[in-house]
Every structure is written in structure tokens, then in C-alpha cells.
Amino acid sequence: NVNNLPNIMVQRGAKTVIGFEDSIYCDDASLWTEDFFDLLKSGLSVESVCNRLKMSDAYISTEMTSCIVFGDGSFRLY
């Protein structure tokens, strides 16, 4: 909804924000974050990286598959 933290962050100027629909565990989030930035550094967009990780065997049984991109999902580092 429009009052959740990721939406507020985009409304206040963040270009891209990633949120999760479910509670996530720190260990899973740490591994996911490492994989996220490795893939992002390869030139993929934020949306593409999130979609790829949702389908990854490493996260299929975790809450990490509930990620949602707010704002500009086409953002790339390059």
C-alpha cells in the first residue's frame, strides 16, 4: 500500500527500493544481499536480479522470494 516504508522512501526521493512481503531471517538476508550485489555488478537491472534470485534454488524455500521492487526497477550500476 502507499503507506509502507519502501513506498515512502521512493516518494521522498529514493530511486529504487527493495522490500519484502514476509519477515526475513538475517542469515538468509546476508547471503541474498551478497548474491544481489554480485549480480547487480554484472550489469543486470535491479528487477532482473530480484527475479533471478526469486527463482534460485538457494532461496526457493525461504522468505527471500517475497522481494518487491519499488520505484525504478530498471536501475543498473552501469
Residue pLDDT, tens place only, 14-58? 999 999 999 999 999 999 999 999 999 999 999 999 999 999 999
Q: Print burial letters for 30-69: b (CB count within 10 Å at least 16), e (below 16).
A: ebbeebbeebbeeebbbbbbbeebeeeeebeebbbbebeb
Confirm whether pTM is higher than 0.85: yes
What's the pLDDT score for residue 61?
A: 93
pLDDT at 2 > cutoff 80: no
Residue recorded with cell 528487477: 47
- Bridge-based pairing of strands 67-71 and 16-20 is antiparallel
Mean pLDDT of the chain: 94
